[in-house]
Amino acid sequence: MKILKAYRFRLKTNPEIEDKFRRQSGCTRFVWNKALSLNKERLEHKIPLIWYNDMAGFLKLWKQSKEYGFLKEAHSQVLQQALKDLEKAFKDFLNHDKPAHEECRLQKNKGFPNFKKKNIHNSFRYPQGFKIEGNRIFLPKIGWVGFFKSRDIRGIPKNVTIKKENSHWYVSIQTEEEIPEQAHPKIGSIIGIDVGIVHFVSIADGTLNEQFIDFPSPLKMYSKRLAREQRKLSRKKKFSKNWIKQKNRISKIHEDISNIRKDYLHKASTAIAKNHGIVGVEDLKIKNMIKSARGTKENPGHNVRAKSGLNRAILNQGWGMFKEMLEYKLNYSGGILVRVFPKGTSITCPECSYESKENRKSQAVFVCKSCGFTHNADWVGAEIVRQRTAKKLGLVAPLIYPAVGHTVEACGGKGHKPPYEAGTSRKEQSSTAPLGISNL
């Protein structure tokens, strides 16, 4: 089967090359904003949108004019890619391919395209015309640029994207690679994953063993330093040279935080994807979970500070990024990521399926009011996810209790006593997994 894969490297730049990068990204940003402004104005006057084919004609006229003649400095296909991206953004915003303004219907989670800002959106893409030789790449209208080649590039390069992040420029090379279709070597291993604040990941594999991966919060590590540098920034004159220097220092701190988070998530997702063929996760709507509780002036919110802290913790851990990494790594190795309905996972008994808020006596303890089953609440959430994953795939997901020595079905099993009646402890084994361990 064919897969698309991206390789990202940091570029070796100098002031001359960076100036060319800024000009290319500036022209790209201008074309996006100009086209977006035209379409926004047409919608306000109830005129149908202009799509890519017509907009490409406008681009040709802009390049020939005296006012916008600077667009000739940019590669033509780079500017065309900006228009194609804008068309895709409008199609994502609308329900169908080419609707009239009266028939526009909004799609969930797809907002109206935004204008791009200088020093924030610095990127452009080449669909063709580039060349890669060893540890350098040729970019049209820029020339040969070296990069730090940390790994071999496999597959056929399809396009390259140049992007600035903080003080460095990076190249992302998308390739198309043909790989044999194969089953995951551990396709029989089904686990459920529950993400949380106390434990970043709780893993249930069908036994009573507790497996946790704890997140070493980079934001907490840098919080004091970040606050100190931000206070310094507030005392400087905006857009002065010292203000710009201080802003770059703050950007460097944010870059360090982001790199630590990504490194951690990559290691955790790789360890899970290597050792388990089927992984179930909750289909959480993170965007809805992190909505502010501030409310309005007429209807002020409650517990605003506590909700703000919860939102910060969720965003700091990168739940969405973790699931994306896990999904593509499992697909690449022949595994499956299954998203299940998240409601009630932490308050449903894994033995008798009794669901009640009273089952969760505290943040960490689960005690079923129906059958008396007790265990760690995070493990229970992960186990329910595992059972729902197996049910969604049409598989059997038995609970295995090593201390008892037999298998107990999810409802308790006919003819067998559940573990709490057999005198076994609900915490047979607990482990907090460090990164990259082999027994995840």
Q: What residues are annotated to the active site?
A: 194, 282, 378
**Residue 42 to residue 35: CA distance in whole angstroms:** 11
Cβ atoms of 128 and 139 within 8 Å: the answer is: no
Nearest CA to 76 out of 132, 141, 131, 152 is that of 141
243-265 in b/e form (b: 16+ CB < 10 A) is: beebbeebeebeebbeebbeebb
List CB contacts of 229: < 8 A, sequence separation 6 or more: 246, 249, 250, 253
Phi, psi of 436 (to 5 degrees): 80, 10
List CB contacts of 294: < 8 A, sequence separation 6 or more: 300, 301, 304
Beta strands at 2-12 and 143-147: parallel, antiparallel or unpaired:
antiparallel
Phi, psi of 400 (to 5 degrees): -110, 120
Identify the residue whose tokens are 């780079």.
78
Phi, psi of 242 (to 5 degrees): -65, -35
Q: How many CA atoms lie within 13 A of 162 on its CB side?
A: 27
Cβ atoms of 200 and 214 within 8 Å: the answer is: yes
**Residue 232 to residue 158: CA distance in whole angstroms:** 45
